[in-house]
Structure 1
Amino acid sequence: MLGNIETNKIDFLNFLYKEKKFVYFKHIANEQIATLYAALRQFGKDVRENYEAEEDLLELFQIIRKNLNRFLSSIDNYNLIFEQYLSSLIGYFKELRNHYTELFDMYGRPLIMTLQTIQNQSSDTNFIKQEIRKKINLERNQCIVTRYKSKTKNVDGVPVVSFSEYLRNKCDYDDAFIIGSPEFFDQRASSIFLATNTYFLTYSIFRNDIKRPEFLNHIPKNLIYDSMLSNVCMGKGLEGQSFIVDFGEVQEQEFQKEEIILRHTQQASHLNDLDKVEANLVILHNNHYTFIPVDTKVRKVNQDSLRISSEKIQALSPGDWLLFRNNTNTDLIIEVANQLLGEAYIKHRKLQKKWKKKLRKVIELNGEEKVIRYFKNKGVKNANFQNLKNWTKETSIAMKYFEELLQILKFDEKTQKEMQESAKILNQKHIQAGKSITAQLLEELDGSVVDSLVDDGYVTFTTPLIEGASFNIEMIKEIDYTSIMVDYRDVLNVWRE
């Protein structure tokens, strides 16, 4: 199966670049947008430099910024944007005026005046849309690509699609008009060009050029040769401010990685060794984080197919999407398997807990090293420190040499047989539950979920699979591969700094 996937990827890349591609970068100059940007940028600079302890103000600015970003990145007519965001913006500016009068007079009032000018003079249009109209040719296969899901479904007959849809559809376009600089999107915007002609359009205040992979930033451009893009003619990038730096990640508080690691390791230091797990810190977007055990697989969502796979942390990288269940430590497979078992689950889980409880007691009384030596002498050849810990957790059903383990734990013959038969049933139901979960979650994942994820760095959704259950897909920002010991109850939860 894996071979087929890799072959499909290679076939797609060969198809993608079999003919020459052209990439152009276009700037759109507009005085009103430049004025809006300048005021918003200076507002953000002042807040970051002089009000860093004012958490309420920082949060208020972030909300105002996010709303105003739509005027800088959307192709919807401005009256639609005003209709969606104006009432909330007025409320936020009122809050700014009531609590920070000086900042309101210095930045809030000029921003409002600029918005009023746009509303009065250009309400029924959009400056980027005006530029695109000059290039529309219905005899050609064209599309318009936006980062955010747009209310505008087409411009003079040319379809408008989100960036995620654009990549999923894999259409061979003549022309693609992508709204924003490549840095406004993820790395794929700088390496996947579906159209013969790709145009990146953004306002002249912003830089507009290809986003280099971070690992290449320390290598001079003249020493890099990209054979995959050798058939792509790249236009000269354009200078300007960085949209991401001015309006994005720089405004987030610095992530206190060392402090978080210290806090969790100190908490774990007071625990029994069986309750500690070796894990890596994974930093997510929006100052969220999680701990992933080094020997545990997590659910990863493929960005193109939206299919779910299980991967160990060594196979993950920044930009990957991970699936988490919210507000519970109970493993989803266990809960669904219990549903499939009906009332019989009580009996099976009772037998499972019985041998685990006895195993844990033996380890606590004798110590791990002594137990490992004894188990190996008695035929449990895979006994080691990590396996002992795994066997005491509820996710473990049985293991190789399970029969020998039950004999060592001195259960009578009848109970041993019951436990072995029960383990077989539980294992079957866990496999069935895993397939059911994957199928159900795939039904819930669609373009709207992806758009929200690209927009906000995470997305929350629900499924009828488990009543009241909700899930998050989170985007990886950074992985710290330094192994640390944390409380097993802290892993695979999404934490906010």
Structure 2
Amino acid sequence: MHGNRRANLDLANKLYSTPVKIEFVRIEEDHIGQLMYALKELKDEVKEYYEYDPLLLEETEAFIKICRKVVGTVGSYRSYFEENNDLIVKYFTLTKKRIYTDLFKKNIQPIVELIMVLRKQQNNAYIEALSKLIKEKHLSPKYTYILTRNKLSSEYIEVNGTIYRTITEKEFVGLGVFADVVIFFGTPSYFDSKFSTIFFANKIIFLGYSCFENRLAKRRSFLDLINHNHLINTIYKNVTFDKGFSGLDFKETFAKGIIKKSEKALISQFENIQNIPLEEKVEVKLATISHNNYIFLPIRQKVNVIDRDSLKVTQEKVKNLYIGDLLIFREQNASNLVREEADNIMGNIANKYRESLEKWKKRLRLNVEKKGIERVSKILMQRYGISVAKENNIKNWMSNHSIKPSCLNELLLAFKFNMEEVKEILNAATEILRAHISAGHHISRSLMDELDKDLENAINENGFYKFESKEFEGAFFNIVEIKRISNETYFTPENETLKIIKG
């Protein structure tokens, strides 16, 4: 339990002591099922045979994303496809070209025909199934919550002349309630995994199209740590559920993108960019993010991370990041955001401090240019006893983001600065570092105030989130989820860090 829910002992007691019944309801809509399978086949075909056609890969990914979102709508199928007509027609126009004749005939023509049928349908199978369910089980609107992954245009649905409230999964968890009935518009794999292990109602019902897997598989607690025969799994204590139904796994089928670059080739591409001075390169780790895209994370900088439950923004070291963390960063020139805010804090004296700091960096760079980094490292370590003066550290000290190394005093003496200069540079480094810390806190607080409460649902649906900041002069910020982080570090141009790289 997280955030304010920690204090809700009543909710905690109900969550882990109240008997829960879980049911799975199949929604029969043949054309939706056929469309989902056709989209899967299209995705597999393009990924397999058109991997060197970047335009087709990109447009196919966008097209599939639009079409598969129909399973989340509660409006008529006709309305959904009319609203997205331009993007769909754009894709059909592209793939009708002669070079895609076989692809169009085999994979796209069937999709065209299915969409044409659905465009004539004024109904929605979710609403029809919900109507039948409410009538059979006599569900009261007062004690029933209808959960959707994405926020609907209206928070109420009229069913059989009665108004029922709809709410996103994030909003529901924020209420901190234990309900009589919770109805999910979607299967377990469509929603956050927490709803497969924590059950917030006496009765939980998952409504899912028949083409999708709609069931729960019991997880084995500590499977990798303890022999299964010695386990007592309390997750499903007092929980009974139907067998459910097999089918496509929504996330497995549609969450992974088509386009995939070789990580090795990507790293080589950025490490070997020509004519980049050593001081403009920084040490990074490569993170895989949403949609199999990538981002280089500078390990000597802290990055802004969002807590999923409280939406609190904190600054974390890259070594402390975990899979599933949400990163937030400015779209343009993200690596300089803290520096810019720090300069605002310092005011007119900022330039003077920066110039003082640059004095010793300039001398370090000059020595590396003349003698080579390997020799400079040996001299600093052997002659001056600076044991941390290894080549990687020297590369980092040369960059603009290094402010005050722990051995700065020893470095200044090694580079023959007099005592007055040493005092001046150390003071400048201290003031700049203090301003950077204040700037980091200011940025975190400001971004936290601007976050959308429905953020996690948007992340789950789209894999990322983007918004325009009023606090930072209309700059756009990206929010992405970390899927994997490399163990190795690399040196890439500073201006290529904290930027989304298409996978």
TM, length-normalised to structure 1: 0.83
1:66 matched residue in structure 2: 65
Residues 1:357 and 2:362 are matched in the alignment:
yes
2:377 matched residue in structure 1: 368
Q: In the alignment, is the contact (CA less than 8 A) between 1:76 and 1:152 conserved in 2?
A: no
Aligned pairs for 1:204-353 (under 5 A) are: 204-210=210-216, 226-249=233-256, 252-265=258-271, 278-293=283-298, 296-328=301-333, 330-353=335-358
Aligned partner of 1:391 among 385, 388, 397 = 397
Q: In the alignment, is the contact (CA less than 8 A) between 1:375 and 1:383 conserved in 2?
A: no
Tell me how far 1:28 sits from its aligned partner. 1.3
**How well do the aligned residues superpose, as a CA RMSD in angstroms?**
3.7
Counterpart AA for 2:68: N
In the alignment, the residues of structure 1 paired with residue 323 and residue 50 of structure 2 have an alpha-carbon distance, to the nearest angstrom, of: 31
In the alignment, the residues of structure 2 paired with residue 361 and residue 53 of structure 1 have an alpha-carbon distance, to the nearest angstrom, of: 44
Counterpart AA for 1:88: L
Identify if the C-alpha distance between structure 1 residues 414 and 337 changes in structure 2 by more than 3 Å, giving closer, same or farther: same
What are the superposed Cα offsets for residues 1-37 of structure 1, whole Å, 9 maximum, x if unpaired?
A: xxx9799399676663242333222211123323433
Aligned partner of 1:189 among 165, 189, 195 = 195
What are the superposed Cα offsets for residues 250-293 of structure 1, whole Å, 9 maximum, x if unpaired?
A: x513441233244445559x988776655432111223212335
Aligned partner of 1:141 among 128, 140, 143 = 143
Tell me how far 1:350 sits from its aligned partner. 0.9
Tell me how far 1:340 sits from its aligned partner. 2.2
In the alignment, the residues of structure 1 paired with residue 119 and residue 141 of structure 2 have an alpha-carbon distance, to the nearest angstrom, of: 34
Q: In the alignment, is the contact (CA less than 8 A) between 1:154 and 1:160 conserved in 2?
A: yes
1:151 matched residue in structure 2: 153
Counterpart AA for 1:232: V
Counterpart AA for 2:178: D
Identify if the C-alpha distance between structure 1 residues 221 and 172 changes in structure 2 by more than 3 Å, giving closer, same or farther: farther
Unaligned runs of 5+ in 1: none
Identify if the C-alpha distance between structure 1 residues 7 and 187 changes in structure 2 by more than 3 Å, giving closer, same or farther: closer
Counterpart AA for 1:148: N
Counterpart AA for 1:244: K
Residues 1:118 and 2:121 are matched in the alignment:
no
In the alignment, the residues of structure 2 paired with residue 343 and residue 102 of structure 1 have an alpha-carbon distance, to the nearest angstrom, of: 66
Tell me how far 1:189 sits from its aligned partner. 3.3
What are the superposed Cα offsets for residues 124-161 of structure 1, whole Å, 9 maximum, x if unpaired?
A: x3101221233442354222222233224222332222
Tell me how far 1:66 sits from its aligned partner. 1.9
1:76 matched residue in structure 2: 75
Counterpart AA for 2:240: C
What are the superposed Cα offsets for residues 74-116 of structure 1, whole Å, 9 maximum, x if unpaired?
A: 2233344234223432343344335545654555454444444
1:86 matched residue in structure 2: 85
Counterpart AA for 1:28: I
Tell me how far 1:215 sits from its aligned partner. 11
Q: What secondary structure, in the 3-state scheme, does the structure 2 residue paired with 1:240 have?
A: coil
Q: In the alignment, is the contact (CA less than 8 A) between 2:328 and 2:480 conserved in 1?
A: yes
Tell me how far 1:353 sits from its aligned partner. 1.0
Identify if the C-alpha distance between structure 1 residues 382 and 118 changes in structure 2 by more than 3 Å, giving closer, same or farther: closer
Residues 1:21 and 2:20 are matched in the alignment:
yes
Q: What secondary structure, in the 3-state scheme, does the structure 1 residue paired with 2:259 have?
A: coil
Q: In the alignment, is the contact (CA less than 8 A) between 1:324 and 1:492 conserved in 2?
A: yes
Q: In the alignment, is the contact (CA less than 8 A) between 2:150 and 2:168 conserved in 1?
A: yes
Tell me how far 1:344 sits from its aligned partner. 2.2
Counterpart AA for 1:118: L
Tell me how far 1:345 sits from its aligned partner. 1.6
Counterpart AA for 1:142: T
Identify if the C-alpha distance between structure 1 residues 206 and 343 changes in structure 2 by more than 3 Å, giving closer, same or farther: same
Aligned partner of 1:164 among 165, 170, 195 = 170
Residues 1:467 and 2:473 are matched in the alignment:
yes
Q: What secondary structure, in the 3-state scheme, does the structure 2 residue paired with 1:430 have?
A: helix
Q: In the alignment, is the contact (CA less than 8 A) between 2:381 and 2:387 conserved in 1?
A: no
In the alignment, the residues of structure 1 paired with residue 40 and residue 225 of structure 2 have an alpha-carbon distance, to the nearest angstrom, of: 31
Q: In the alignment, is the contact (CA less than 8 A) between 1:458 and 1:475 conserved in 2?
A: yes
In the alignment, the residues of structure 1 paired with residue 318 and residue 447 of structure 2 have an alpha-carbon distance, to the nearest angstrom, of: 21
Identify if the C-alpha distance between structure 1 residues 431 and 214 changes in structure 2 by more than 3 Å, giving closer, same or farther: farther
- Equivalent residues, number: 486
Unaligned runs of 5+ in 2: none
Q: What secondary structure, in the 3-state scheme, does the structure 2 residue paired with 1:496 have?
A: coil
Identify if the C-alpha distance between structure 1 residues 74 and 274 changes in structure 2 by more than 3 Å, giving closer, same or farther: same
Identify if the C-alpha distance between structure 1 residues 118 and 392 changes in structure 2 by more than 3 Å, giving closer, same or farther: closer
In the alignment, the residues of structure 2 paired with residue 344 and residue 159 of structure 1 have an alpha-carbon distance, to the nearest angstrom, of: 56
In the alignment, the residues of structure 2 paired with residue 170 and residue 359 of structure 1 have an alpha-carbon distance, to the nearest angstrom, of: 57
The alignment-based identity, stated in percent, is 26
What are the superposed Cα offsets for residues 198-251 of structure 1, whole Å, 9 maximum, x if unpaired?
A: 2221111111123788998999997675334434334323111223344342x5
